Chains A and B, each alone.
Chain A
Amino acid sequence: MNLPLVSPIPPPDQELLLKSCLFNDDLLKKAFYAWKNLVNFETDIYHHSFRQLPLLYFNLSKNGIDDPLMLRLKGIYRKSWSKNQLLFHKAAKIIKLLQDNEIPVIVIKGIALSILVYKNVAVRPMADIDILVPVSKAEAAFGLLNQSHWISIDPANDDYYLKNGKSLTMTDEDDTELDLHWYPFFECFDLMNENDFWDQAVPVVISGVKTLALCPADELLLTVVHGLMPNVEPPIRWIPDSMVILTSTDLTIDWTRFLDYAKKFHVVIQIIEGLKYLKETFNAPIPTHIYSEILQLKPSLTDKMVYKYGKRQGVFVYHPSHEKLAFLYTDFLKHHPTKNIFHRYVGFLKYMRNRIKGKPVFRIMIYYLSFFIKQNSRKWSGKLIAK
């Protein structure tokens, strides 16, 4: 199957910016001045680059670089620090509310990375608060937050997302965004045991409130999977986030767990692509034997389907038929891993019959056919052109 993978490689200007954020001494100077020559600071700094500027300031300052941009970069750092502090403060209140109602909380992404990995409040700007609660407590957590004036941004589909999603986005009266997750990433949907991710969670304190964060291996997996998610514009932040996890001397990555989870949740393509890029471009300190093992991984059909269709955007019914079928086929493969082609196709028909109980069989066949044509049209058109 020839799936077009979204490249995790940022364009040259962003790569230089990231090197300026992560490298030291001469390598930093070389990257920073090359970046400055390539971009116009007044006009060329868009969202994803902008979010790296506090880290750029921090790294330039640490390396004693003096530059006319420093004062404005320092201002960006101050703003990020202030905004993040306010988000931490709000997050602490949410965590306390949930804990008081016997709902444990793991902080993920920005808050966890800032405290445990970057150990700096400013360098990783956050747009929202991301928390994880146990799958079995998702509905209760959502209800509690609702009572505390956190409102879902898509209330008509709350029930749908609670049953079929990985998270819900809520906002408060100040328009602060909260992502309430019960799966760290969508690929875990239905594959996660209750204890997964929770069993190795590590303690963390947010604005005086004790809670949990993912262990380094799980946070790295989440960062890479999220970063490598199909996107029009890849969110380059996964690169510094991963690099800082990998280079932190006080964090120990359980690589066995990392690889086991990558296989279990069918995110093998993401980790191959992601870690290969980090190793080749940023000389990421991945143990040699682990890196060799990663490069030798052979993504299965399920891994490929999950990579392309594992994360669905929005509500299922609004997707075109061929995508719906791809989502269902991916779900089927996740739960019925088999290499036998006959079992894959016949099993899928049986699976579909169970999924759409009472609906006419010809409808399944139409979906199936449209999916098959869509998947193979590129191959057929290529052959026709070749002829």
Chain B
Amino acid sequence: MELSEKLKVNTPNVVHETIDGEAILLDLNTGNYFSLDGLGAVVWEFIDKHGNWVKALEIMKSANVGQEKSVTEVVTNFVEQLCAEKLLVPLNDESRDDISQEIASQLAAVAHSFASLRINKYSDMQDLLLLDPIHEVDEKGWPESRDITETESPEKE
């Protein structure tokens, strides 16, 4: 897959919010729900604000000297999946190149955990919405069901 250097969130089809270090994403057309933890949420926010995932990659490589190849592989794979799910689409305007020091520092601070970068995907929203979020969920809360055999398990990608 050929990745555009500049990307943006596929609005209005995709809505997202970051809550307490977790990015939650919903594709309104498919009903697919996604969750990005820790570093994934920071990378997502970086792309949403600045549009340039390659710059995010550079910051992460600088924070992981000696592991640049692995970082490139993991981050590229992560961004490719976000594009394959149509959560991100190519950005054509040049307006969002300035990188704030705050988000760059935030990214550098958590970049060491690059190996954990992944997308949690939950694809049956109708079933998920029927899940009782008090009694039928595990300790992480909705949409993680308590008994994994009763509802569709998340596809870890």
Contacts and interface: CB of A to CB of B under 8 A. Distances in A.
Interface of A: 41-42, 45, 50, 61, 71-79, 81-83, 85-86, 89, 121-122, 174, 207-208
Interface in B114-141: 125-126, 128-129, 131, 133-135, 137, 139-141
Given A75-B143, A76-B142, A82 B12 contact: no
B26 A79 contact: no
A74 B20 contact: yes
B84 interface: no
Max chain B C-beta neighbours (<10 A), residue from A79, A83, A207: A79
Contact of A89 (B17, B28, B128, B135): B28
Nearest to B142: A75
A82 B129 contact: yes
Contact of B141 (A45, A61, A73): A73
Contacts of B141: 71-76, 78
Given A72-B137, A75-B133, A122 B17 contact: yes
B129 to A, nearest CB: 6
Given A72-B141, A207-B12, A81 B24 contact: yes
A287 B125 CA distance: 45
Interface string B29-49: 001010100000000000000
A179 B85 CA distance: 34
Contacts of B129: 79, 82-83
B109 interface: no
Nearest to A207: B12
A208 B134 contact: no
25 contacts: A42-B134, A42-B135, A45-B134, A61-B20, A71-B140, A71-B141, A72-B139, A73-B141, A75-B137, A75-B140, A75-B142, A76-B133, A76-B134, A78-B19, A78-B24, A79-B133, A82-B26, A82-B33, A82-B125, A82-B128, A82-B129, A83-B129, A86-B26, A121-B15, A207-B12
Contact of B19 (A74, A83, A89): A74
Contacts of A83: 129
A129 to B, nearest CB: 15
A42 B144 CA distance: 17
A248 B20 CA distance: 23
Nearest to A83: B129
Contact of A86 (B19, B28, B139): B28
Given A61-B20, A82-B128, A208-B12, A72 B31 contact: no
Contacts of B12: 207-208
Report the 4 A-B pairs with minimum CB-CB distance, sorted nearest first: A75-B141, A75-B142, A208-B12, A89-B28
Contacts of A81: 17, 24, 26
Contacts of B24: 78, 81-82
Nearest to A76: B133
Contacts of B19: 61, 74, 77-78
A86 B133 contact: no
A255 B141 CA distance: 42
B58 to A, nearest CB: 32
A72 B33 contact: no
Contacts of B17: 81, 121-122
